Structure 1
Amino acid sequence: MNILLSVYYRLLENAGYWAVLVLTFLATVLFILSIYFFLTRKSREEKRLEKLVPASKTPIKQKPKLLDAEQGGFITRFAKPIDDIVSSQPGAMHKSIRLHLIQAGWRSNAAYYNYITAKVVLGLVLPLGYLISRFFFTFSLQVILLCLLLAVIGFGLPDTILGFAIRARQNRILRALPDALDLMVVCVEAGLGLDMTFRRVGEEIKPLCRDLSEEFFLTNLEIRAGKPRNECFKNMSLRTGVAEVGNLMTILIQTSRFGTSLAKALRIHSDAMRIKRRQVAEEKAAKSTVKLIFPLVFFIFPAIFVVLVGPGVIRIVRVLFPAISGG
């Protein structure tokens, strides 16, 4: 009985703390339930189908909602309202996001909705999870600041990953571009048209760089679909985000406009690309000596110092200290 009374009095002493904890728990549960009911509710089209199709007939087989973005899948229903808010704001934020995703090689609508969902979920889950865990221990201004820091990290983490993916894809395209230019020169000098040149180069460059091959195929498809060539070339430059590809597209536009020799222009540009790649390699080799200073100073020199000076220091300690203490 005394134990129960002591527990009861302790709960009364910390009534404010437990009230905040219970309210936070209830708010979290209600938030999760509201998201669940919002994502699992039936769309207007599904309700109309249920009214039109009798219950006795076989229901229409639907695609999995997690994968079907057009029918209002799980992630799409979560990200679509956020996308509507972003699209309604002045500026071209949603267009910039889509362009960055395309530059990373992610062209589908699902990638766009996954990106928005990741930003929102990580920006909310990390600080909320830490905040709820800290309620069981202590709650202070430091906890609030750390929650804000976690929110910033969670909201910016998808941007960081996207930036790494864009740079990796651009580096792959940049490494394969001189070889693609040589193939274009061979195809043009063999008498192929620019459309067939893009298709042939896309097929030949695929084992070396799949990203550049896809860009050549997409540009060829756009030209065959009836788009103006200049617009197709500009689209390829935007999709890659590589300055060298933009220069190549500018050369193609100028040769088609002024009627100059395409093979000669491509050969000159290919030679310039190879010279630039060699200069970049020489620049990296020159910078390597400076970059080696920090590993040498902090890792290699201390080990060498210990190996060279260590035995002498040990001998001095063994010989000199007894002599000093004995004297």
Structure 2
Amino acid sequence: MDALSAREASDMTLTPALFGALTLAAAALAAGLCGGVLLYRYARMQRSARTLDHALKGRGPSAPDSAPLRPGPLAAIGRACTAWLDTPLGRVAVASEERRLLERCGYLDAAARGRFLAARIAGAVAAPLALIVCAHGAAHGVRFMLWLFIAFSVGFMAPKWFVRRRAQGRQRAVDAELPMFVDLLRLLQGVGLSLDQSLQVMISDFRNVLPVLSMELALAQGQFATGRTREQSMKRLSSTYENEDLAAIVRLVVQVERHGGAVQEPLKQFGDRLREARRTVLRERIGRLTVKMTGVMVVTLLPALLIITAGPGFIAVVRALSVLHR
């Protein structure tokens, strides 16, 4: 009986191969469930779209024939994730902070947030699977479970890190483009163009000079053309990038649109203040760089300087001591 129980206990031992097989089976089951849910959501959306299309065709004149859109699996996954944005999972995976970062990156529609959610789910599933495949034969123990948790966290957070880096780059671009934007607006207002004409010229002709602000101005102009007020259309531009100078310029533009008046002198003063602030920032950077270079010079130049200045004396002392020793 003791031998039989020992054999049963050895058969029930969780070996690395058995653990890896169970993990892969669980991952495959989870992927199958997610795929089934996505296909079900996609089928429901397609059925709703066909019903709406049929109703619109029945009420209005027939549209010209066009080739039906046949989206692929990636489009289906993106649409399903877009439908998940209002669920508890979607609100946790794409919280308000992530939505602000996406807006700062220029991703404004719900499809972009759906793709972000899909990227987070894919990263959270792919990173642990890659770790399991790479660690074949050593998939056991508490340490491996810790590595699995780290891989899951990295895969889940990687899309947010990418979006945050892009948002920071656009924030720096807005800070760099703002003085040029003020000078161009003052110049175009000075030659007699209206506010709409000035903004349109900057959007169409100065896209290479103002890549980020021209896109934001194009979005604001599109909203203004659809019936929104100037304040409503420029609200996103003043609040998204958290730049006080940009918010002040937007307030000035709104006041000019509402009350009229000459803006050349206020814009000139504002541009001078921006340039002075930039000079101050550059002086601070140069000061910090000087302090950093002091350490580099001590590490790199001081040994060479000591060798050049004190080397001959040290060699002479060594030679004198060697002569005395003889």
TM-score (norm 1): 0.75
The one of 9, 13, 16 aligned to 2:14? 16
Kindly report the root-mean-square deviation, in angstroms, between the aligned alpha carbons of the 2 structures. 3.9
Q: Work out whether 1:64 is the aligned partner of 2:71.
A: yes
Question: Could you tell me whether the CA contact under 8 Å between 1:185 and 1:266 is conserved in 2?
Answer: yes
Q: Which residue of 2 aligns with 1:214?
A: 215
* In structure 2, distance between residues paired with 1:120 and 1:322: 75
Instruction: State how far apart, in whole Å, the 2-side matches of 1:302 and 1:125 are.
Output: 51
**How many percent of aligned residue pairs carry the same amino acid?**
18
Structure 1 unpaired stretches of 5+: 1-8, 53-59
Gaps of 5+ in 2: 1-6, 55-66
- Whether 2:269 is the aligned partner of 1:304: answer no
| Counterpart Cα distance in 2 of 1:31 and 1:320 | 82
Q: For each residue in 1:74-130, what CA deviation from the matched residue of structure 2 results, as whole angstroms up to 9, or x when unmatched?
A: 2332463355225667xx964543332121123343332222222222233323432
Q: What are the equivalent positions in structure 2 for 1:43-192 lying under 5 Å apart?
A: 43-44=43-44, 46=46, 61-66=68-73, 68=75, 73-78=76-81, 80-81=83-84, 83-86=86-89, 94-131=95-132, 133-134=134-135, 136-137=137-138, 139-192=140-193
Equivalent-residue separation in structure 2 for 1:152 and 1:320 (angstroms)? 67
User: Structure 1 residue 289: deviation in Å?
Assistant: 0.8
Aligned residue identity for 1:44: R
Deviation for aligned residue 1:184: 0.9
One-letter identity of the residue aligned with 1:43: A
| Residue of structure 2 in register with 1:27 after alignment | 26
What's the CA shift for 1:311? Answer: 7.9
User: Does the aligned pair in 1 maintain the 2:82–2:110 contact within 8 Å?
Assistant: no
1:62 aligned partner, one-letter code: L
Q: CA deviation at 1:272?
A: 1.1
Q: 1:104 touches 1:166 (CA, 8 Å); kept in 2?
A: yes
Deviations 1:139-166 (A, max 9, x none): 2222222322333322222222212111
**Cα displacement (A) at 1:134:** 4.0
Q: Deviations over 1:258-305 (max 9, x none)?
A: 65532222221111111111221222111111222444455x248737
Larger RCO of the pair (alpha carbons < 8 Å, separation 6+): 2
The question of whether the paired residues in 1 share the 8 Å contact of 2:81 and 2:115 is answered with no
Cα distance change, pair 196–66 in 1 and its aligned pair in 2 (3 A): farther
> What is the letter of the counterpart of residue 75 of structure 1?
G
Alignment TM-score, normalising by the size of structure 2:
0.75
* Structure 2 counterpart SS, 1:63: coil
Contact 1:205 1:212 in 2 (8 A): no
Contact 1:202 1:217 in 2 (8 A): yes
The aligned runs of 1:190-229 (5 Å cut-off) are 190-229=191-230
Aligned length: 301
* C-alpha separation in 2, matches of 1:130 and 1:211: 39
